[in-house]
Amino acid sequence: MGRYHAQKFARLPGVEVTAVVDADLARAQALGPAAFSDYRAVFGKADAAVIAVPTDRHHAISRDCLQHGLHLLIEKPMATTLAEADDLIALAAKQQRVLQCGHVERYNRTFRAMQARMDRAVFIEAERLAGFKRRGAEVDVVLDLMIHDLDLACALARAEPTDVSACGFRVLTRDIDIANARLEFANGCVANLSASRVSQAPVRKLRVFQPNMYVSADLQGARLRYARETGGAIAETEEVHEGGDALADQAAAFAAAVRREQPVQIDGREGRRALELAITVGRLVRERLARFE
């Protein structure tokens, strides 16, 4: 992910990628700018940084960077515990630094088109399936994949979650590989989310229902289908939203926030909310597995 971030920022006007850091120095050197194997070498050389290390190192490195005055874009999940997340949020506020969370699906052009048309979602259904990859396997499927849809569900519901139930299973690893969660929100909206990292074909689908309208989104295929009641009949329309670059749009939003041209779009509090939901889902799944395994 660090390579992709570096490429997107390098193309932004008014942004200079001053360094790339990787434990594998040769991999960092292949990207062109100054390369280092120790992140502390960038202190004093940059205004901002993207944290795209394994999740279990997010807190320590992010904390050090904030203390040295760097604005941060942290890949999701922002930390491994709520205490770590709270510490980073407090430190960013104290240092008056931007802390943005990398929930990149919020910048998906298809999702944004859907969100703009939703007034009062009452039921949300999400399905996110992927083949197994070693990258990201240091965390369970909830923190790796479902956390995207936990964040999207909150954005669509426009309310805080009040109740969570979940189940899941181990398949290829010793941790959760398949999970299902049901969320209830303060305004009555309900979300049903499924995630798997042991599927043969990738799927990123989202369905949202509200009074008088149903919307189905294929976030991978960049397609939307609307169904609504019109004059006693059901009218269906389809849209294609190809050509978007969510990672580039996220990079541009972060740069704008650092320049104080716009507020932080997905701040530490929203990153913490998604993390808290993911931790809760994971805990509920493990408690259930402990009863039946």
User: Of 20-34, 61-75, 110-124, 252-266, which gets the smallest average pLDDT?
Assistant: 20-34
Domains and CATH numbers, the chain: 2-104+249-266 (3.40.50.720), 106-243+276-292 (3.30.360.10)
Share of the chain above pLDDT 90, in %: 85
From the list 4, 70, 2, 6, the residue with the least C-alpha distance to 32 is 6
pLDDT score recorded for residue 123: 98
Tell me the whole-structure pTM to 2 decimals: 0.93
pLDDT score recorded for residue 104: 96
The DSSP bridge partners found for residue 290 are none
CA angle 157, 160, 162 (to 5 degrees): 110
CB half-sphere exposure, 202, CA atoms < 13 A: 8
Convert the pLDDT of each residue in 175-203 to its tens digit.
899 999 999 999 999 999 999 999 988 99
The DSSP bridge partners found for residue 161 are 185
